[in-house]
Amino acid sequence: MNYWRQQANNLSQRLIEIRRHLHRYPELGYKEFETARYLAQILRQEGIEVREHVGGTGLVATIRGASSGRTIALRADMDALPIQEKTGMPYASIVSGVSHACGHDAHSAILACTAMLLQRYRRKLAGTVKCIFQPAEECPPLGGAKPMIDAGVLADPPVDAIYALHTAPNLPVGTIGIAYGPMMAASDRAKIKILGEGGHGSAPQQSVDAVLVAAHTVVALQSIVSRNIDPHSAAVLTVGQLQAGYRYNVIADMAVLDCTIRTTDVHSRQLIQDKIEQIVDGVTRAMGARYELRYTLGYPPAINDTVAVDQVIKAAEVVLGEDSVRIQEKTSLSGEDFAYFLEQVPGAFFWMGSRLEGDRKQYPAHHPAFDLNEAMLPLGVAMFCQIVEQELFREPLAGGE
């Protein structure tokens, strides 16, 4: 068995303890005060250098090697979701309406124990490791990564490469999922207000029906992806919400469309934004209505670096076995603000198999009954440590100090 896997297994109970504590006391984005305080306390108990309040509630633990060299960053998100938990587990959230339904509790526990192990082996490091505990990943369009970057988390010393993992309820424990290039999509939002002229339902000729204009707009918007985007590129435009009218016999004077747009490249992202404006302007003009458009750029696409992906795959083959890697053929259209880090420095984001086994049903992330297989926790630690060994250790670790 891989050495890091052995060492991480020795921390299994500690990992579960940290993860379940965080799970019971979840906090929403930008409000992770107790989460950050708890993590800082356990890290300082290990003699690790900790800096708090980085970009808000962000936390950075730094392990400095015995000699100089590159700087590698590892990132975990800390925030929970505004979801009432329905797992029925003894460690379920005790905070009403808030729960860790996306595995961020596991990410933080994994990174905390990774820092503990690397601190013990810091004399073998030729360089520095920054463990970044990030707030507010679930809070687009700003998120938590960008405020930390603006606060200098990637500087002093400058980060050369960065890595992050995420629980994957669709993958079995002991496997990872990763892609070269686009890993996650950009996530943008368009809110369109159509302004017509109301009137009596019996006299439509005296009105401008905002519902009819909205209907034509919805249909026209669906032509953008199907007729303007290369079929080999992944893109989605979804009108998730349409609100209009107050009464069955009154012609609506206003309709509001709220859309999400997911793209995996800069060209498609800009093209869709431009086309939405053109279509809404054209349809409303043709039908005698007016409009207001608010377009919000969310997280950019997360683009994995080829060299960093190679490092992750190599680590997985060492830690988990040669058949452990699942190359992601299709880009996930979920958004992830780790993309902001990847815009600044090369790095890689990968999925860590966390599927439940036995009689327990596996629910997807963001479901009230979402939970994960805690057997993945030490494997996440071992993966992070192996990546750092490959990047920074002066010589391969044969075992022991």
Residue found by looking up tokens 């207000």 in the block: 193
The model's pTM = 0.93
| pLDDT value, residue 398 | 55
Q: Do domains 3-183+301-392 and 186-296 have the same CATH topology?
A: no
CA dist 346 → 73, 151, 154, 261, 305 (Å): 11, 19, 12, 25, 5
Cβ of 284: how many Cβ atoms within 10 Å? 23
CATH topology of domain 186-296: Alpha-Beta Plaits (3.30.70)
Query: What angle (nearest 5°) sits at the alpha carbon of residue 367, between those of residues 366 and 372?
Result: 85
Running DSSP on this structure, what letter comes out for residue 14?
Answer: H
pLDDT of residue 267: 95
Ordered by start, the domain boundaries in the chain are: 3-183+301-392, 186-296
Average pLDDT over residues 81-93: 98
* 373-400: average pLDDT: 90
Q: Are 386 and 347 in contact (CB under 8 A)?
A: no
Span 368-386, average pLDDT:
99
What are 242-266's pLDDT values in tens digits? 999 999 999 999 999 999 999 999 9
Tell me the pLDDT tens digit for each residue of 195-221: 999 999 999 999 999 999 999 999 999
- Tell me which CATH code domain 3-183+301-392 carries: 3.40.630.10
> pLDDT, tens digit, for every residue of 138-196?
999 999 999 999 999 999 999 999 999 999 999 999 999 999 999 999 999 999 999 99
Rounded CA gap, 79 and 29, in Å? 5
Nearest-angstrom CA–CA distance, 246 and 248: 7
- Catalytic positions are 79, 137
CA distance 55 to 150: 7
User: To which H or E segment does residue 236 belong?
Assistant: strand 235-244
| Model pLDDT, residue 400 | 43
Among the ranges given (63-72, 89-98, 123-132, 390-399), the one the predictor scored with the smallest mean pLDDT: 390-399
**Three-state DSSP class for residue 120:** helix
The per-residue pLDDT of the chain, averaged, comes to 97
- Look at residue 232 in the predicted model and tell me its pLDDT: 87
